[in-house]
C-alpha cells in the first residue's frame, strides 16, 4: 500500500464528499487504486500488521488509556479498532461522544472493515449533551466486568460550568474503572505547538490541557502521527 490505512481512509472520506458518493463506494475506489478488488481485501491485508490487536492484548481491567493525535491522524479510528478487538472477545463496548453522531461512528466502523451488524448486541453509542464523569458512571453501572468504554473526547468533559473540574472527573473515573474492572479509553487532542520536525510522534507532554490534569492518572497511552504509532505505559 502506498500510504498508511488512516490516510487511505481519509482519502476515501474526501473522495466521498467531493464526488457525492456513498462512503463504501469511495472506499472501494481507493482500494482499487491500491490494487485490491475490494476494501475488505485491503483491510484483511492491513490486519496482518495491525497494531490494535497487540495494543488490546496489553490492556487490563481498570486501565485508563489515552489515545492522542492531531486531527486527521487516526485517533478515533484507533479507539474503534480497540473496541472491535474487545467485541471480538465478546466484551461489551460503549462509545461516549460529544462530537459524533451514531451514523458517523457506524461509517467509521465500516472504514476499518468492521460490519456494525456483527457487533450490534455488544455496542452502545451515547452522544448525550450531559456526558461527564457522573453521567458515564451512571451509564456504565449495569455493564459487566471487562467492558471497554471510549470517551470522545477528554478535553470536553468539563466544558459545562456545572461539571466538576477535569482532574476531579478523571480521578472519579479511575476509581470507578478499577473497582469495576472496566477499560476506559480517552481520545485526546494534541497541542498545536507539536512540531513534527523535532520528533516523529507526539508524546505525553504534547497533550492539550486547557485545564489542569495530572496525566499520571492514565495507565497507558497511544500516540499517532503520519502512520507512526507509539504505545507505552505512562507510569
- The DSSP 8-state label assigned to residue 118 in this structure reads G
Q: Is the pLDDT of residue 235 over 80?
A: no
Write the CB contacts of 153 (distance below 8 Å, at least 6 apart in sequence).
98, 99, 186, 187, 188, 189
Cα distance between residue 200 and residue 207, in whole Å: 15
In the block, residue with C-alpha cell 489542569: 212
List residues bridging with 229 in a β-sheet: 224
Mean pLDDT of 193-219: 93
Residue 164: DSSP 8-state: P
* CATH 3.40.50.300 residue spans of the chain: 52-233
Instruction: For 190-200, give one letter per residue: b (16+ CB within 10 A) or e.
Output: beeebeeeeee
Classified as helix, coil or strand, 183 is strand
Topology of the domain covering 52-233: Rossmann fold (3.40.50)
In the predicted model, what is the mean pLDDT of residues 136-143? 97
pLDDT at 103: 93
Residue 1's pLDDT is what? Answer: 65
Positive or negative, the Cα torsion across 30, 36, 38, 44?
Answer: negative
Answer whether residue 45 shows pLDDT above 60. Answer: yes
What is the structure's pLDDT at 47? 62
Note the pTM of the prediction, 2 decimals.
0.80
pLDDT band (50, 70, 90) for residue 66: very high
List helix spans (H) across 163-224: 166-180
For the residues 59-80, what does the mean pLDDT come to? Answer: 94
Q: What are phi and psi of 209, to 5 degrees?
A: -125, 90
pLDDT at 112: 82
Q: What are phi and psi of 12, to 5 degrees?
A: -65, -40
Interatomic CA distance for residues 82 and 54, integer angstroms: 10
3-state secondary structure 218-235: CCEEEEEECCEEEEEECC
- pLDDT for 228: 87
For the residues 172-196, what does the mean pLDDT come to?
96
pLDDT greater at residue 229 or residue 49 = 229
Amino acid at each position: 500500500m502506498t500510504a498508511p490505512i488512516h490516510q487511505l481512509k481519509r482519502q476515501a472520506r474526501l473522495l466521498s464528499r467531493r464526488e457525492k458518493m456513498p462512503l463504501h463506494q469511495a472506499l472501494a475506489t481507493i482500494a482499487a487504486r491500491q490494487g485490491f478488488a475490494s476494501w475488505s481485501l485491503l483491510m484483511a491485508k492491513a490486519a496482518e500488521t495491525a497494531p490494535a490487536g497487540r495494543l488490546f492484548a496489553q490492556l487490563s481491567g481498570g486501565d485508563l488509556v489515552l489515545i492522542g493525535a492531531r486531527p486527521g491522524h487516526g485517533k478515533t479510528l484507533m479507539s474503534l479498532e480497540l473496541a472491535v478487538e474487545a467485541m471480538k472477545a465478546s466484551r461489551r463496548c460503549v462509545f461516549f461522544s460529544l462530537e459524533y453522531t451514531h451514523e458517523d461512528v457506524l461509517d467509521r466502523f465500516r472504514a476499518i472493515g468492521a460490519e456494525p451488524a456483527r457487533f450490534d448486541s455488544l455496542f452502545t453509542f451515547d452522544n448525550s449533551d450531559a456526558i461527564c464523569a457522573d453521567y458515564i458512571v451512571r451509564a456504565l453501572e449495569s455493564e459487566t466486568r471487562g467492558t471497554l468504554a471510549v470517551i470522545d473526547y477528554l478535553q470536553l468533559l468539563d466544558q459545562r460550568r456545572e461539571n466538576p473540574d477535569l482532574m476531579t472527573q478523571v480521578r472519579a473515573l479511575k476509581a470507578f474503572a478499577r473497582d469495576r474492572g472496566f477499560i476506559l479509553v480517552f481520545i485526546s487532542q494534541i497541542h498545536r505547538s507539536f512540531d513534527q520536525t523535532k520528533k516523529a510522534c507526539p508524546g505525553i507532554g504534547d497533550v492539550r490541557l486547557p485545564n489542569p490534569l495530572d496525566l499520571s492518572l492514565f495507565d497507558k497511552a497511544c500516540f499517532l502521527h503520519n502512520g507512526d504509532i507509539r504505545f507505552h505505559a505512562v507510569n
